[in-house]
């Protein structure tokens, strides 16, 4: 028997598998694209149909099957089945059809995929670390087969999109985010690790469901929770010392607490707080080019004062201060409405993270009343509550400003504060609109408007790639501010003319590459980089981007 040759793959993994073992490895499997020589060398004869096909021929065969599925969730499951068999072909298909596939693999479908996780689960694609692993988290992390992990997305499932506590079912979020790291920015799939910290769930219906695959017990709280998270974070630093840790979809208290505790100690960020802030800041900077009102003169009114809203407010303040305003002046530009009305200083029920945006003002109970009194240039929806930007609210915005900015950012689509059609109709087509989930173009009075999508995927993949290239020791607010300005600068006049305040999603790999260069530049300038600066930083970023191509094994 001929000994199987070894081949150094781009990520320094050598091929020692043969036959069915090779076909069952989704990283190595090429399916019918294995050549005759490879089939002979690796014991594949008879295990595959005889015709050797190219990657493009495989795509031509598989893509119609995706499109034939009747629902987005069916398409999601079909694509996941491909990723479970052939990672390279999966990413080639996604990258070549990114605008079409992003709504399938992430917003809005990923929320439904999390809700149905127990029904569609076939093969584990990440690590589940549970409350029962306390004291041996390092041992569990050691089970992950790849050593060179550079990007970890972790959730505890407490607040999945606008859907609430989904417990272990929230694993769909880290998997989806890391899919976008690879598809949108070329972070190599073997460098990505999805993690769910399963500490139970307070969703009683989920706990009692026979299809729920997590710990069916109430959610761990307090010191025990903090101790488990500390053990996990410290174990990550030992096992994957160059990894960036991204927190995702934690509850408000834990999200702010974890970020404040660790942001100056390890390479970490919270996408719900900082990524959302960056993409929203970019949208406001682009919208200013349409309205003619610069950011420093805008009054912003947020509906929702949780992770996303406060994160946006903080980054806006930092940007305005960098532009010359005092911190007090900058904070005065940002106003918040929560479930109990306008956030004002006289209220005694405010959580700590809201107090820095509490202003002197008489109590106001409703969003409409706040719009009428404050006359904001922009309303920013991050409430997770649908249909709250009512026609009355939108018409009030249009009375006060020629081009009102309406950002309905809550996900998934069912949670959006208003639809694109509602925003344009209520304002006579004058709204500058963007949303968190995608909406189709809207035709009104003979004009067609193309709404932008304030998708965090414009930001976090590029930030992550820049951090990886520089091997940055930290992720800073400056990096997110730079990412926002870079993204805004990539919006063309043609985009603005059709009402879109973000670039086309078809350009997202270009966007991520440019953002990565800007972020890496910050890391080198601030002395945070742990890797020597390359002679050509832009080329180093380009060279680091994964391309899903087959490599010869003989």
Strand segments (E) across 172-298:
192-198, 244-247, 268-270
Give me the phi and psi of 8, to 5 degrees please.
-80, 105
Q: Which of 362-367's residues contact partners 24+ apart within 8 Å by CB, and which partners? A: 364/337, 365/341, 366/341, 367/301, 367/303, 367/337, 367/393
> Is beta strand 334-338 parallel, antiparallel or unpaired with respect to 341-342?
antiparallel
Look up residue 128 and give its two tokens: 């589940």
pTM of the complete model: 0.93
Q: Establish whether domains 19-102 and 274-457 are of one fold.
A: no
Residue-range domain boundaries for the chain: 19-102, 103-266, 274-457
101: left (phi over 0), alpha (psi -120 to 50) or beta: alpha
Whether 177 sits among the annotated catalytic residues: the reply is yes
The correct answer on CATH 3.30.360.10 for the domain covering 103-266 is no
Could you count the other beta carbons within 10 Å of the beta carbon of residue 60? 11
Helices (H) and strands (E) in the chain, counts: 25, 14
Which residue's structure tokens are 């596939």? 101
Mapping DSSP to helix (H, G, I), strand (E, B) and coil, where does residue 8 land?
strand
> Is beta strand 151-155 parallel, antiparallel or unpaired with respect to 192-198?
parallel
Strands in 334-338's sheet, in edge-to-edge order, are 341-342, 334-338, 300-303, 378-381, 405-408, 432-435, 452-453
Helix H or strand E segment including 447: strand 447-449
Give the model's pLDDT for residue 14.
56
Look up residue 22 and give its two tokens: 């090779």
Check 42, 76, 91, 106 and give the catalytic one. 106
Per-residue pLDDT of the chain (554 residues; tens, 9 = 90+): 334 333 334 434 456 899 999 999 999 999 999 999 999 999 999 999 999 999 999 999 999 999 999 999 999 999 999 999 999 999 999 999 999 999 999 988 999 999 999 888 888 889 999 999 999 999 999 999 999 999 999 999 999 887 899 999 999 999 999 999 999 999 999 999 999 999 999 999 999 999 999 999 999 999 999 999 999 999 999 999 999 999 999 998 999 999 999 999 999 999 999 999 999 999 999 999 999 999 999 999 999 999 899 999 999 999 999 999 999 999 999 999 999 999 999 999 998 889 999 999 999 999 999 999 999 999 999 998 999 999 999 999 999 999 999 999 998 888 999 999 999 999 999 999 999 988 999 999 899 999 999 999 999 999 999 999 999 999 999 999 999 999 999 999 999 999 999 999 899 999 999 999 999 999 999 999 999 999 999 999 999 999 999 999 98
Check 42, 76, 91, 177 and give the catalytic one. 177
The CA distance from 272 to 281, in Å, is 14
Give the model's pLDDT for residue 174.
96
CA angle (193, 191, 233) in 5-degree steps: 45
Give the model's pLDDT for residue 357.
95
Q: What is the CATH number of domain 19-102?
A: 1.20.1370.30
Which residues does residue 337 pair with via DSSP β-bridges, in sequence order?
303, 342
Do residues 505 and 184 touch, judged by C-beta distance below 8 A? no
Which residue's structure tokens are 């050598």? 14
Q: What is the CATH number of domain 274-457?
A: 3.40.50.720
Name, in order, each residue with C-beta under 8 angstroms of 139's C-beta and a sequence gap of 6 or more: 133
Determine the longest span between alpha carbons in the chain, in angstroms: 85
Which residue's structure tokens are 């070329």? 186
Which residue's structure tokens are 């490895």? 25
Do residues 355 and 346 touch, judged by C-beta distance below 8 A? no
Angle in degrees, 0-180, between the axes of helices 72-85 and 98-105, rounded to the nearest 10: 100
Name, in order, each residue with C-beta under 8 angstroms of 1's C-beta and a sequence gap of 6 or more: none
Whether 424 sits among the annotated catalytic residues: the reply is no
Give the model's pLDDT for residue 107.
85
């Amino acid at each position: 028997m001929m000994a199987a040759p070894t081949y150094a793959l781009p990520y320094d993994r050598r091929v020692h598998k043969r036959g069915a073992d090779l076909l069952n490895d989704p990283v190595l499997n090429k399916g019918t694209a294995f050549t005759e020589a490879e089939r002979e060398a690796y014991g594949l004869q008879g295990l595959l149909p005889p015709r050797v096909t190219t990657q493009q021929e495989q795509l031509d065969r598989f893509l119609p099957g995706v499109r034939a599925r009747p629902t987005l969730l069916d398409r999601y499951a079909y694509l996941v089945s491909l990723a479970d068999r052939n990672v390279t072909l999966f990413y080639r298909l996604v990258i070549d059809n990114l605008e079409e596939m992003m709504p399938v693999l992430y917003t809005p479908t990923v929320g439904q995929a999390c809700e149905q996780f127990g029904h569609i689960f076939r093969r584990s694609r990440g690590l589940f670390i549970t409350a029962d692993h306390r004291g041996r988290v390092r041992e569990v992390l050691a089970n992950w087969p790849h050593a060179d992990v550079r990007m970890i997305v972790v959730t505890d499932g407490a607040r999945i999109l606008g859907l609430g506590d989904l417990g272990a079912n929230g694993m769909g979020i880290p998997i989806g985010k890391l899919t976008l790291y690879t598809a949108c920015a070329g972070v190599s799939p073997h460098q990505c690790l999805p993690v769910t910290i399963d500490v139970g769930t307070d969703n009683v219906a989920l706990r009692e469901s026979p299809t729920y695959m997590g710990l069916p017990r109430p959610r761990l709280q307090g010191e025990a929770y903090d101790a488990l998270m500390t053990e996990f974070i410290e174990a990550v630093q030992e096992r994957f010392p160059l990894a960036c840790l991204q927190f995702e979809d934690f509850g408000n208290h834990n999200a702010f607490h974890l970020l404040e505790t660790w942001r100056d100690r390890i390479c970490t960020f919270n996408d719900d707080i900082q990524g959302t802030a960056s993409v929203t800041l970019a949208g406001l900077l682009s919208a200013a080019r349409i309205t003619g009102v610069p950011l420093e003169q805008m009054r912003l009114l947020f509906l929702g004062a949780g992770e996303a809203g406060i994160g946006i407010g903080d980054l806006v303040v930092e940007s305005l201060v960098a532009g010359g305003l005092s911190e007090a002046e900058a904070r005065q530009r940002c106003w918040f409405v929560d479930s109990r009305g306008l956030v004002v200083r006289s209220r005694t029920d405010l959580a700590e993270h809201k107090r820095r945006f509490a202003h002197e003002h008489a109590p106001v109970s409703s969003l409409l009343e706040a719009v009428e009194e404050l006359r904001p240039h922009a309303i920013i929806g991050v409430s997770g509550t649908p249909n709250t930007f009512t026609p009355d609210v939108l018409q009030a915005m249009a009375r006060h400003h020629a081009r009102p900015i309406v950002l309905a950012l809550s996900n998934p689509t069912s949670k959006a504060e208003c639809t694109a059609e509602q925003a344009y109709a209520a304002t006579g087509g004058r709204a500058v609109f963007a949303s968190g989930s995608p909406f189709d173009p809207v035709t009104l009075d003979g004009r067609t408007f193309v709404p932008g999508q304030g998708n965090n995927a414009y930001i976090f993949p590029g930030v992550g790639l820049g951090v990886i290239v520089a091997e940055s020791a930290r992720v800073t607010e400056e990096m997110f501010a730079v990412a926002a300005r870079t993204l805004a600068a990539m919006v063309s006049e043609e985009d603005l003319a059709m009402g879109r305040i973000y670039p086309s999603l078809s350009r997202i790999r270009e966007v991520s590459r440019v953002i990565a260069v800007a972020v890496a530049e910050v890391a080198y300038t601030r002395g945070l980089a742990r890797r020597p600066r390359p002679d050509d930083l832009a080329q180093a970023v380009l060279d680091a981007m994964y391309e899903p191509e087959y490599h010869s094994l003989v």
